[in-house]
A and B are shown apart, each in its own frame.
Chain A
Amino acid sequence: MADNSDRLRAPSEDRYATELQALAAADAGRARPTGWKLSPRSVVTFVMGGTAGTGPAAVTIAPKYVGDQAAVEAAVATLASDRAVLLAGPPGTAKSMLSEWLCAAISGSSRLIVQGSSGITEDHVKYSWNYALLIKEGPTDAALKPSPILAAMNTGQVARIEELTRMAPEVQDALISILSEKEISIPELSNRVVMARRGFNVIATANTADRGVHEMSSALRRRFNFVTIGAVENVVQQTEIVVRRTRELMSDHGIAPQVPIDLVRVLVELFTELRTGRTIDGAVNLRKVAADLSTAQTISTLFSSSLAAEYLEAGTVTPKVLARWAHSTVMQADANGALALRDYVVTLSRSRLHKPWPDFLTELRRLVGQIGEDNP
C-alpha cells in the first residue's frame, strides 16, 4: 500500500483499504460479477456499513453514506448488469462521494474520473495523443493517450463522470456508442476497435440544480439507469454526516481543534431552517435562502471554522467563530442572505435561549446589523 501520509486527500480505496480487504476475505465463495473485486452485497455493506466476517476476526465496516439504502442497492444492482448509472440529485448530497465509494469497492480504484465542464472535449472522453511522439513516430500505441474511460474499458473497471450535464451536448453524445456498443474505434491505428473488458461500466453524476444547462439527449438518457439521491433533511442524520466528514477533513489536514457537538447541531439547524424556510419544529415560517445550503456547505463551513480555530484562535470552535463562517457562507450563497439572516435572528433570538444559541445569535446579529440600521 502506498504511503499516503503526505497526501492532502487519499482516495477511498487507500483510505479504507483494511475494510476492503476484510470484505474481500469474507466474500470467499460468494458469486460476484466478472471483474468485480467484491460481491454486490459486500459493496452495499462497504457503503452503508456493517461487519465483514464473523466471530472474533470480524471487522467493523464504518457507514460512509447516510441516506437511502434502497438508492445504493439500485445503483449496485444496475452496475451488476451492463447498464450505466446516473446519480442525480440536488447539490451537496454526496453523489460524488457515493460514486467514489462504489468504484473503490467494485474496481478497487476510484481514480478513473472525467470531470465534466464546458471546457472538455471529446478527446477527454475517448483518447488523445502525445503530440511529440505522434509527430516523431506517427500514430502508435505509445503515442496514444487513453482517456480514463478508455483505460477503464481496457482494464474492466468502473469509470466516473462527474457533472455530466455540464459537458457540451456533442461531448455527451460521444458517450452514446461507448455505453451501448461498449467499444471505441481508433481510426488512426488502422481502424482498431477497443472493446471493453467485462467489469467495465460508468457511474455519472448530475446536479438537478444544473437542469437546463446542457440537457441530456433522450438517446443518452436511455443509456443510463437513474438513481435519485435526495437531500438528507433529518437533523440528527445530517449532524452525523457533518461530524464524520469534518473529522476526516481535519485528519487529512493534521489538525484537531475542539468542535462542540452542540455547535454542529446549531449550524445544521441554521442551514436546514434557512433552506426550508421554516423552523425544524415547523412552528415558525422564515425567509428562505434562494440557493441550496447543502450538507456539503455545512461541512465546508464547519471545516473552515475548525481551521480558523486551530490556527487563529485558542484551538476550540466557539459560537463566535462559527457564526462568522456561517454568515460568510450564507452571504456567498445568496445576495439576499443578509435579509434572511436578519429575519432569522430577530425571529428566533427570543426563543432560542439554551446554549450555545444566545452567543451564536448575538454574533450573527452583530454581523448582519440591526434591522432598520441601514434601511430607510
Chain B
Amino acid sequence: MIELVRPDLGPRSALRVVPGLRVFPVRHHSPISARLLAQSIRTDPPRVILIEGPADADPFLDFLTDQASAPPLALLAYVVGRAGAAALAPFAEFSPEYQAMCLGRSLGIPTQFCDVPLTLDRELSGPAPGSLVSANHPGEERLLTGGQQTDLWEVEFEPRPLTLPEYLESCRVLSHELRQANRWTLTREAYMMARASCWVAQGVAAGDILLVCGSDHAEMLATGNVDLDALDDLPAPTRMIAFVVPYSYRRLSMASGYGAGLPTPGFSQAIWDAEGQVGQAVGDVLTRVAESLNREGFRSSLADSIDAHVLATNLAALRGRSAPGVAELVQAVESCLTRGRYARASEAVHQCLVGDRVGRVVASAGRSPLAMEFDAFLTHPRHSPPLVLSDRPVVCILDLHSEAHGEISSFLHRLQLVEIPYGSLTGHPGGWKESWRTCWTPALELRLAVASEEGLSIEDVAMGRAKTAMAQSLSAAQAASLFVNIAAARLDTIIDEARRVVDEACLNSTGVPDLCVATAHLYGLVRFEGLPQTVGGLVKELFTIVAGRSLLMLSQVGPCPDDEAAQVATGMSALVDMRAGLDSPQQTLLQLGLERLVHDRTPHPLISGAAAGLALLCQSMTIEAVVQEVAQRLIGVGTEDQAAWFLEGLFRNQRDELVGTRGLVASLGAFVERLTEDEFIGLLPSLRRTFGRLKPGERTRLLNHLVKLHAATPARPKKQEPRQEWATDRVMAHALGRVRRRVAGRMPR
C-alpha cells in the first residue's frame, strides 16, 4: 500500500503544447491494439513511452510488470478516510497499456503514466462531470452509445487482419467521427500534453515520445489541438492510498457491470494467444467449449468442432465479416455441438467465452498486511483445498473434526466480524459440519486494505471490531449474535466480556421475540462442535440462563400489535425447535406456556393459533384438543377477524396433520360458509396468507375433505374416481366462480 504522490509538472509557464508527438491510439483491452502497439514499439523503439493512466501510479509499474506477477491485475486506489470513493484500473495481458509497460521495461525505455493523477481526479474529489460537448462538431449529436461502439470495434477491428497503417488510419477516422469530449476530457488531454512537454524540455524530440492513449484523444494530441489552460480545472488534491490487486476475467467482462469491460475476455485472450489469427482462436475456443460440454454430458466430437468452425466461418462470410465473432461462434455451438439443447449448455459456453483466469501479484508489491495474511492463509497447503481463490461462488464444506478445517472455520468467522465479504455461512453453525459459500471479489481487496488501518492482523481487527460492537447498546438478539460470532471466531480472550454483554442485554430485555431469537442464536452455538471445551461449557451455561428467561417471559405475553405478534410467533417456533436442548423443568415450562397461550383469550389470536400448532408439534396437546379449540375460536366466541388471525397462526406449523383432520376442516368450512360477502372480502388478505402456506398436496387433501363434507360426489362413473385432480378441479372451479361473483359484485361497473 502506497500513498500516492502526484508528479511535479514544473512551472506552468514552462509547459508547451508539443506538436508531432508519436501518438498510438488504442482501445482498452483490445488484442489488435496490443499486438500492433507491440509491433510498433519493437520495430521502431521510442525514447520514452507515456501511457494513458494515472500519473501518480508510476511506482506501481514495477509491480505490474514483475515476472512473478501475472495479469489480469488491477490498480486499486481509495481516498483516505473515504473508502467508498475508490478507483480501479484493470489490465489484461491483451491490454495495449500492459504490453507497453512490459516492453518499456524489457527494452529499457523510460515508461510513465501520463493521465491526470488519481489525487486530482474530479470523480473522486469534485462535482459530477458536466454535460457532454463535442469538440469537433459543436451542437451535433453524432455519438454512438457504449454498446454500439463496442459492437463496432468487435466487428470492424478485432477480426480484420489490419496492417499498422490501416489500423492507425481506421482509428483516426473513428476518433474524428465519434469523439465525445466534455470539459474534463479537455483537462485530461492538457495534462497528457503537459507530461510530454516535460520530456521535450529535457531534450527528447516530440517524435521520439510514444504516447499510448484512447483513440478518442489521439487526434487532438497528435495535432497539438490542446488547450493547456484547461489545467486550471484540476480540483484540489485529495490523499489517496493505492495498491495492486489480482483481477479476473469474470470481473473484466461487461456482464459484471464494468463499464469499460469487454463482452468476452476469454475469447479476446484466445485471439491474443493466436497472435491475431481469429480463425485459429475460434478453433481453440470451440475445442475448449466442446471439452467443457462433454464434461456436462454432451457428446461432441472433434468432427463436430470442425463442423462448428465451418459454420461459424460461413456465417461470418454471409454477414460480410472477415472472421467469426462471438455471435457466430455461439450460433455454431448451438447448431453443431449442442444440437438444439443450447439452454442446458449456455452456462458452460458462457464460462469458456468469458474465461476464468485470475491474476497474481508479486509478494513485494506492498500489499496491505491483511491482504497478505489473507493470501497466505488461502494458499497454505493446509487450507487449500477446500479454500480457493475464485471469483465464482464455491461451496466449502468444513469437517470440524479436522484441526485444519477448524482453523478455516475460525478464520472465516473472523473475516465476517471484520466485514470482509469472502465467505457466508449457509445456515447456522451446528454439529461437526459447516457449509460456507466463498467468493473472492475486488471489493474484498479494498476492504482488506481499509481494515489494515485498524490493525496488523485479521485477529486484531476482528477483536477491535467486536469490542466496538460490544460497547454499543445491543438488544438481546444482537448481543447473542455477536457472542456466537466471537465464540466461533475463537477470540477466546474476549469471550468472557461478550458473555457479560449478553447477560446484561437479556436482563434488560422485556421483548419476548428478542429473547426468543437470542435463545435460538445460542442454541445454534450449543450444537456447534468446533469450540474448545472451556468455551463450550460457558456457552451451555449461558444458553440455559437465556432460555429460562425467554420461557418465563412467554407466560407473560399479552395483547400486542400485529407485527409484534408475528415476531413472537417466530420466536416461539425457535424455542420449540430447540426444545431438545432444554432441561426437563424448562421443557415443562414451555409446554405450560404454550397451553396457556392456546386457551387464553388475552394474547393476540395469531400467537394463540401459533401456540396451538406448536403444542401439537411437541405433543403437549392432542389433535382432538386442538380441533376443539379451533371450533371454539372459529364458530364460537370472538369476531371473524380474530378467528382469521387464529387460523393464520395455526397454519404456521403442522399443516400436514391439520388438513388431514376432518373435524378441523369441517370447522373451517363452516367458518367460511357463514361469512358475508363483505366479511369475506375483508378477510381475504389474511385467508390468502393462511392458505398460501399450503403445499399442493396439502391443498388437495383439504379440498377432498371439503368435497366429502359437502357430499359433492362426482357425477362420473365410480371407476374414474381416483382422478383426484378432476374432483379438485370441479371444486376449485365452483369455489372460484363463487369468489369471483362475490368480488365482481363489489367492483364498480
B734 touches A375 (CB 8 A): yes
Q: Which residues of A contact B310 (CB under 8 A)?
A: 81, 83
B311 touches A346 (CB 8 A): no
Per-residue contact bits, chain B 712-749, to A (CB 8 Å; 1 contact, 0 not): 10010000000000000110011011101000100100
Q: Which residues of B contact A376 (CB under 8 A)?
A: 712, 715, 730, 734
A70: which of B303, B327, B712 is its contact (CB, 8 Å)? B327
Q: Which residues of A contact B303 (CB under 8 A)?
A: 222
B327 touches A339 (CB 8 A): no
Per-residue contact bits, chain A 329-362, to B (CB 8 Å; 1 contact, 0 not): 0000000100100110011001000000000000
Interface residue stretch chosen among A121-129, A139-147, A223-231? A223-231
- Residue from A78, A81, A336 having most chain B Cβ neighbours under 10 A: A78
List which B333-388 residues lie within 8 A (CB) of chain A. Answer: 334-336, 338-340, 342
A73 touches B304 (CB 8 A): no
- State which size class the interface on B falls in: 20 to 34
Q: Which residues of B contact A228 (CB under 8 A)?
A: 334, 340, 342
A8: CB under 8 A from chain B?
no
Closest chain B residue to A33, Cβ basis:
B314
Question: How far is the CB of B321 from the nearest CB of chain A, in Å?
Answer: 11
Per-residue contact bits, chain A 201-218, to B (CB 8 Å; 1 contact, 0 not): 000000010000000001
A80: CB under 8 A from chain B?
yes
Closest chain A residue to B714, Cβ basis:
A376
Question: How far is the CB of B718 from the nearest CB of chain A, in Å?
Answer: 16
Q: Which residues of B contact A222 (CB under 8 A)?
A: 301, 303-304
A77: CB under 8 A from chain B?
yes
Known: A221-B339, A346-B740. A375 touches B334 (CB 8 A): no
Q: Given the complex of chains A and B, what is the CA–CA distance between A350 and B712 in angstroms? A: 30
B435: CB under 8 A from chain A?
no
Chain B interface mostly: helix
B335: which of A40, A74, A80, A371 is its contact (CB, 8 Å)? A74
B580: CB under 8 A from chain A?
no
B311: which of A41, A44, A78 is its contact (CB, 8 Å)? A78
B318 touches A346 (CB 8 A): no
B196: CB under 8 A from chain A?
no
Q: Which residues of B contact A81 (CB under 8 A)?
A: 307, 310-311, 314
B340 touches A88 (CB 8 A): yes
Closest chain B residue to A224, Cβ basis:
B339
Q: Which residues of A contact B715 (CB under 8 A)?
A: 376
Per-residue contact bits, chain B 307-342, to A (CB 8 Å; 1 contact, 0 not): 100110011011100000001000100111011101
B311 touches A77 (CB 8 A): yes
B437: CB under 8 A from chain A?
no
Question: How far is the CB of A249 from the nearest CB of chain B, in Å?
Answer: 30
Q: Given the complex of chains A and B, what is the CA–CA distance between A37 and B62 in angstroms? A: 62
Closest chain A residue to B711, Cβ basis:
A376
Q: Given the complex of chains A and B, what is the CA–CA distance between A41 and B331 in angstroms? A: 18
A372: CB under 8 A from chain B?
yes
Q: Which residues of A contact B740 (CB under 8 A)?
A: 346-347, 371
Partner-A contacts on B (CB < 8 A) = 299, 301, 303-304, 307, 310-311, 314-315, 317-319, 327, 331, 334-336, 338-340, 342, 712, 715, 729-730, 733-734, 736-738, 740, 744, 747
A-B contact pairs, 15 of them (CB 8 A): A74-B331, A76-B318, A77-B314, A80-B314, A81-B311, A81-B314, A218-B299, A222-B303, A226-B335, A228-B342, A336-B729, A346-B736, A372-B734, A375-B737, A376-B712
Enumerate the 7 nearest inter-chain pairs by beta-carbon distance, A residue then B residue, closest first: A371-B737, A77-B314, A226-B340, A77-B315, A226-B339, A225-B335, A372-B737
